[in-house]
Structure 1
Amino acid sequence: MADVLNIVTVDVEEYFQVSNFEKAIPRAEWDSFASRIALPIQKLLEMFASRQVKATFFVLGWVAQRQPRLIREIHLAGHQIGSHSTWHRLVYEQSPEEFRRDLRESIAILSDITGSAVTAYRAPSFSITEKSLWAFEILAEEGIRYDASVFPIYHDRYGLPKAPVIPFQIRTQAGPIWEVPASVARISALNIPVAGGGYFRLYPYWLTRALCQKIQREGRPVLAYIHPWELDPDQPRIPRLRWSARFRHYVNLTKTEHKLSRLLEDFHWNTLEAGVNHWIARHPEPTMLSPCLSPAE
């Protein structure tokens, strides 16, 4: 659809760094695990290149420190590099001071590797919630202009179910931030998550495609998200997990690559920045909210 530009994003983190494994794998043990991220990143770069797709890669600072050449390769391929924090800590489990330090460290690492400013951010596990709306002010103060941390659903770990489902602008004292929420399809009074993570792996592809088409018919862009480890079905299994964590992480890993290939073929995709600029061109009077997500004055 000509009036909609969809956005594809990648959360660049190792399989052992996900929030699902936080209790099983302390951060102090991360360096004891062998990295597996290079191969799935190469797969993604090849898939994007063959379809002339540009994406936004939200990179964990911890990964970037250990894989600078890989991050530089992503950047040189023309993709947008954004921050995914340094240590993959949930925003609402940090103080504002801790959050700022972690954000600054990640931005410094990424800008040093790429030689470019970092203006995009995604919170680990979409963890900007009612408990951490203060983060928007800090993001703006640290130079972030595009955010993709809000998920307008109910979930046990994340979610802002009453947030807008369209791209919107957050006005802060340090300047505006454009927020593009993770995609949901509106079914009656329910927001159904679409096109990312476990939802993408769980749904049959025909359903994902139909829900994305519904979103587009409503004039909204689809925001898709993928993790490199979702293209690595042979990754080591972590023992002693709760059944819910095991299911969320491992369900249908063998099907991700094929589904993603079809998704990239069936829709047009670009970066977060390009998607926002496309939206602005067609909506010169954006929805504006304050950092508490109430109408801006």
Structure 2
Amino acid sequence: MTVDVEDYFQVSAFEGHIRREQWDGLPCRVEANVERILALFDAHGIHATFFTLGWIAERYPDMVRRIVAAGHELASHGYAHVRVTELDEAGFRADVTRTKALLEDIGGTPIHGYRAPSYSIGARNLWALRVLEETGHRYSSSIYPIRHDLYGMPEAPRFCFLPEVCEQLLEVPITTVAFGARKMPCGGGGYFRLFPYAYSRWALRHVNRRDRQSAVFYFHPWEIDPAQPVQRNLGLKTRVRHYLNLHRTEQRLRRLATDFRWSRMDAIFLSARDEVDGAHA
């Protein structure tokens, strides 16, 4: 179970409508939404991974500490939700180094994981995974192995793999379900709000039972907040993607919490890797 900790005005779809210089002047809702998520997880005994923006952590350090104190994994989502496709190698290295140090200082815990904003690592910038390894990260969850108009690497493996550009860093893709040769999304986000809950439950069970793999699920704090400020002058596609079924998300998450057992990324993927490495030592 993973949460991408960013506020409603920081999504990539709003980049043409809300400038980063405006962020500090907008009403933040992330802290209250994260508190609701922490309460939901506590009620169901869930420990999760929170991929957190450095920009958010700087402004809400107590929230970050509450995440860690509740037994969740703190991980990096970059500093200010800049897509990796907009950065060169030096800029990316500076971004992830800065964010890792910031989160470790605030949270008081090592940062092992990273998730690229808008899954913006793919076939054309796999060098970013090497940079993550060189900066001390142990895993990434930045590749979505689907075809999408904004992101995706459909030729990537569906499950955890060691990229060719890395020696140790694992890539843990968002979960998909196979329909013949086609991969269909079932790992959360807008698809969780678009499709009926029955589809998500069926697909995740299929991955568990047929593929015998753990599923990686994600959502954002703003997705449980139907009362968030509504942005004007958005295109139809953007409006639908962002606002569709926000009023249903929290209840669906409660069903998801009951229907499956969930844990942190490091506990599932890094622990298994460490056990294998220890057995080979």
Structure 1 partner of 2:6: 13
Structure 1: distance between partners of 2:250 and 2:31? 15
Match of 2:173 among 168, 181, 184: 181
Q: Structure 2 unaligned runs (5+)?
A: none
- 1:146 Cα deviation from its structure 2 partner: 1.4
Match of 2:36 among 27, 38, 43: 43
Q: Is the 8 A contact 2:113 2:137 kept in 1?
A: yes
Structure 2 partner of 1:52: 45
Structure 2 partner of 1:249: 242
Structure 1: distance between partners of 2:82 and 2:8? 15
The within-5 A match list for 1:64-143 is 64-143=57-136
State the number of aligned residues.
Answer: 276
| 1:132-189 CA distance string (max 9 Å, x none) | 111011100111101110100001111110111111123556x411111101000011
Structure 2: distance between partners of 1:16 and 1:131? 27
Q: Does 1:166 align with 2:159?
A: yes
Q: Which has more strand, going by share of residues? A: 1
Q: Does 1:200 align with 2:192?
A: yes
Structure 1: distance between partners of 2:111 and 2:266? 11
Match of 1:216 among 185, 208, 213: 208
Structure 1: distance between partners of 2:77 and 2:276? 28
Letter in 2 for 1:65: E
Q: Structure 1 unaligned runs (5+)?
A: 1-7, 285-297
| 1:101-134 CA distance string (max 9 Å, x none) | 1111111210110122211000001100112111
Letter in 1 for 2:29: R
SS of corresponding position for 1:136: helix
Structure 2: distance between partners of 1:163 and 1:283? 23
Structure 1 partner of 2:226: 233
Structure 1 length normalisation: TM-score?
0.90
Structure 1: distance between partners of 2:100 and 2:50? 13
Match of 2:257 among 256, 260, 264: 264
Indicate how the Cα distance of structure 1 residues 283 and 209 shifts in structure 2: closer, same or farther if over 3 A, else same: farther
Q: Is the 8 A contact 1:146 1:272 kept in 2?
A: no
Q: Is the 8 A contact 1:123 1:149 kept in 2?
A: yes
Q: Is the 8 A contact 2:126 2:165 kept in 1?
A: no
Indicate how the Cα distance of structure 1 residues 211 and 283 shifts in structure 2: closer, same or farther if over 3 A, else same: farther
SS of corresponding position for 2:81: coil
Structure 2: distance between partners of 1:99 and 1:282? 31
SS of corresponding position for 2:109: coil
Structure 2 length normalisation: TM-score?
0.95
Q: Is the 8 A contact 2:194 2:245 kept in 1?
A: yes
| 1:232-252 CA distance string (max 9 Å, x none) | 000000111111111110000
